[in-house]
Amino acid sequence: MFSHERVIVRRGPESGLPIVVAVHSTARGQAIGGCRLATYPHWQDALADALRLSAAMTDKCALAALPNGGGKTVIALPPAGGTAAEPLGAATSPAAGIDPELRRAALRDAGLTIAELGGVYATGPDVGTGPDDMATIGERTEHVFCRPTENGGSGDSSRATAIGTVAALKAVCAALFGSPDLSGRSFAVLGLGRVGAHVARLLADADARLVVSDLDESKRSVIPGATWTNPADCRRAQVDVLVPAALGGLLTPASVAELRCRAIAGPANNQLDAPSTAARLHERGILWAPDPVVSAGGIIHATGVELRHESEAEALARVETIGDTLTRLLRSAAAEGASPAEMAARSIKI
User: Annotated catalytic sites, by residue?
Assistant: 72
To 5 degrees, how large is the angle CA 310–CA 67–CA 333? 105
> Would you count residue 215 as binding ligand NAD (CB under 6 A)?
yes
341 in Cβ contact with 197 (< 8 Å): no
> Would you count residue 268 as binding ligand NAD (CB under 6 A)?
yes
Binding mask 108-147 for ligand NAD (x = CB under 6 A): -----------------xxx--------------------
Provide the sign of the torsion angle of the four alpha carbons 7, 194, 63, 299, taken in this order. negative
> Would you count residue 196 as binding ligand NAD (CB under 6 A)?
yes
Coil, helix or strand for 88? coil
The CA dihedral of 319, 324, 327, 333, to the nearest 10 degrees, is: -90
Instruction: Confirm or deny that 308 is annotated as ligand binding.
Output: no
As a whole number of angstroms, the distance between CA 229 and CA 122 comes to: 38
Query: 148 Cβ partners below 8 Å, 6+ apart?
Result: 131, 132, 134, 135, 155
Of 161, 277, 325, 339, which one interacts with ligand NAD (CB under 6 A)? 161
CA nearest to 15, candidates 98, 132, 94, 109:
109
> Would you count residue 194 as binding ligand NAD (CB under 6 A)?
yes
> Would you count residue 158 as binding ligand NAD (CB under 6 A)?
yes
The residue with its CB nearest to ligand NAD is 193
Residues 76-105 that bind ligand NAD (CB under 6 A): 94
Binding mask 231-250 for ligand NAD (x = CB under 6 A): x-------------xxxx--
Q: Measured from the CB of residue 254, what is the shortest distance to ligand NAD in angstroms?
A: 15
Query: Which H or E element spans position 51?
Result: helix 43-63
As a whole number of angstroms, the distance between CA 260 and CA 257 comes to: 9
> Would you count residue 24 as binding ligand NAD (CB under 6 A)?
no
> Would you count residue 315 as binding ligand NAD (CB under 6 A)?
no
Binding-site residue set for NAD(+): 191-196
List residues binding ligand NAD (CB under 6 A): 94, 125-127, 157-158, 161, 190-196, 213-216, 231, 245-248, 267-269, 295, 298
